[in-house]
Amino acid sequence: MQTSTMYNMWLQYKIVNENNKDFWREVAVLSNSCIARSIKEELRFALNSMYKIAPDITTNHQAKIVIGVIKEISGLLNGKQKEIIADLPEEGYLITNNQGQLILTGKTDKALLYAVFHVLREVQLGNDVTSLNVVEGPKNILRMVNQWDNLDGSVERGYSGNSIFYENGEIVKDKSRIRDYARFLASVGINAISINNVNVWEEETYFITKKYLPEIKEIADIFKSYGVTLYLSINFASPIAIDGLDTADPLVDKVRKWWKEKVTEIYQYIPYFGGFVVKADSEHRPGPFTYGRDHADGSNMLAEALAPYNGKVIWRCFVYNCVQDWRDRSTDRARAAYDHFKPLDGKFHENVILQIKNGPMDFQVREPVSPLIGAMEHTNQMVEFQIAQEYTGQQRDLCYLIPQWKHVLKFDTHIKGEGTTIEEIVAGNVHSYKYSGLAAVSNIGNDDNWTGNTLAQANLYGYGRLTWNPGLAAETIAKEWIQQTFGKKESVLKTMEEILMDSWHIYENYTAPLGIGWMVTPHSHYGPNIDGYEYSRWGTYHFADRQGIGVDRTIETGTGYTAQYEMPNQLLYNNIDTCPDELLLFFHHVPYKYTLKSGKTVIQHIYDTHFSGYEQVEQLISKWETIKEHIDVPRYKNISERFSMQKRNAKEWRDQINTYFYRKSGIEDEKRRTIY
């Protein structure tokens, strides 16, 4: 555990009021599991930092603070409290004061770990914990992060330095930073992680062999001690790559046998292994399509091998033809996931979970919610977000993503009538899913501050808090993170909350208008390239011509994508008169002089938002500078440098977008601003 403000993210454990110092001098921890040992270590570190004391960690039931599972602590609770715990999920906890004694309890040691971090958070927020009375449990079963780290130390879509897991073709020897990462994840309730890129190339294929399993077990042990279950991304063609089989066909007996033996080997090393994350048949990755099989065939083969060990297959639904002719308007990447997977509902084994990106495209700053989420009543599902800011500024530009994710989770699918929101679907409250929840692509690396831009820590923190309790407001999460990270100075809290809460809207203003997305530099995905297309020479994503802009996805004249939504969403999006402005160009091709509900024309909206977006970045910088005296030098310098990058980026977006559409449309800016 290090002590720098950059490194410690939201676990700063700043010195606090000493009124309750004596309350913490003796703490009873009534277990000696690996998680209990992590609890003790965290308490020693936190209390030394906050109160400058070395607590006496005992098993004394008479201590002021007692931490133990229900079977160890039953005698200290009354009947009602025991009933409360009986109704809690395995990771839920009770914190209560019984006659001056603070008790933290639940059914499992993981519950105790979350309870301890809850109390430490309350202390950091300046709240009196001596009389806490809290009952909490996570809404989502699975709360996962996906690392896109490669064995050479690089991180695909990584914007925070290199991997903390790998360097120079090897697993890192010093795993202390991995342990600290596990602490951060546990502190916000994350309970699962995959530690290698979903694009599994060459040497990483061998992670499931004895060449790497001993060291991967060491990593798994670290995460286990913080309640986090380890998964591995796999190469679907592993039988060919590892042992030279002539096929990876999931319905061939020797392939099925190979996977069963391989899974047995993995569990011999790691008995608590979570399972596999799989990207198949997309962006040149191998999969069951090669053999004329479908995704149920491919995932079920792996599920059968994992089932005896309670392992799971997390099968990504990011499947589309990446070299399609985008000029052919009968094809539509947005349709792909639904078209591939919806017909297979009910054919997947119960330990298969489909992982679906929050939108139908690819983590854009604005896109509709994927219609596949909740559309499969008989197939486990989880939603995939991206904490890494691939298309939202790459942690150079500020974009606080919690409001965007809240928007997704609140979306009402109407799949079972009004009120069937994404939040309730992924919590398993709409369909009888055995497993469900949330996953997200991680945004950390080996930079001193973990996330490149210190402010990007708020997205990792916020993701964890949101997976535990989706009901938390984006403002509440922001305030929690600011106070724990930068302290309770009112001017800092107010200013930084404004900066964070405005940032998504500002980023959208100076980049992609009205839901059109993309227009970004191919492959790097940073900075504007209006006609950029990722994989081939085929056209653009926005279909801008002399007359107008946008993609016709209507049933009558377009790709028919809107038909994938339930009523009334289908009608809402399909009808140009009711389609929300912020998604208009995602669903409709319109003339530049089409009038939005705001009263502006499309072309004027483009001009105005790109000019105002740049000006808003300048205002962000001005606000940031007002609190300089309250921010330590390393973090102030880091954030200021990132704002300078963002200002340059916003200017480039403004100038290129406005110039392009002025030249394309020939329509003047009503305000007669300079457009080159």
Catalytic residue among 42, 91, 390, 480: 390
SS3 (DSSP) at 521:
coil
Length of the chain counted residue by residue: 676
For 184, residues 6+ apart whose C-beta sits below 8 A from its C-beta are 9, 10, 11, 450, 460
Residue 470's Cβ-count burial label (10 Å; 0-12, 13-18, 19+) is: buried
Sign, Cα dihedral of 41, 43, 44, 50? positive
Read off the tokens for 646.
Answer: 């963002």
Between CA 333 and CA 527 the distance in angstroms is 22
Closest residue by Cα to residue 68 from 26, 108, 38: 108
Between CA 176 and CA 202 the distance in angstroms is 27
H/E stretch holding 258 reads helix 253-269
Catalytic residue among 167, 218, 283, 655: 283
Is residue 156 among the annotated active site residues? Answer: no
What 59-62 contacts at long range (C-beta under 8 Å, 24+ apart), as own/partner pairs, is: 59/28, 59/29, 59/30, 60/26, 60/28, 61/28, 61/30, 62/101
Tell me, rounded to whole angstroms, the distance of Cα 199 from its chain centroid.
Answer: 18
For 388, residues 6+ apart whose C-beta sits below 8 A from its C-beta are 148, 157, 158, 159, 394, 395, 441, 442, 443
Between CA 456 and CA 401 the distance in angstroms is 9
Is residue 652 among the annotated active site residues? Answer: no
Between CA 68 and CA 325 the distance in angstroms is 60
Is residue 362 among the annotated active site residues? Answer: yes
Quote the crossing angle between the two packed helices 402-410 and 457-468, to the nearest 10°: 30
Read off the tokens for 344.
Answer: 């297979």
For 345, residues 6+ apart whose C-beta sits below 8 A from its C-beta are 375, 376, 377, 378, 379
Q: Where are the alpha helices (DSSP H) in 131-203?
A: 176-187
SS3 (DSSP) at 38:
helix
Between CA 560 and CA 105 the distance in angstroms is 53
Read off the tokens for 100.
Answer: 């001056």
Read off the tokens for 31.
Answer: 């277990």
Supply the DSSP symbol for 415. B
**DSSP-assigned states of every residue in 71-114:** HHHGGGS-HHHHHHHHTS-TT-EEEEEETTEEEEEESSHHHHHH
H/E stretch holding 214 reads helix 213-224
Q: Where are the alpha helices (DSSP H) in 524-592?
A: 569-574, 584-587
Closest residue by Cα to residue 544 from 422, 384, 662: 662
Supply the DSSP symbol for 396. T
Catalytic residue among 109, 362, 384, 447: 362
Residue 403: count other Cβ atoms within 10 Å of its Cβ: 20
**What number of helices (H) and strands (E) belong to the chain?**
19, 18
The residues annotated with a catalytic role in the active site are: 283, 362, 390
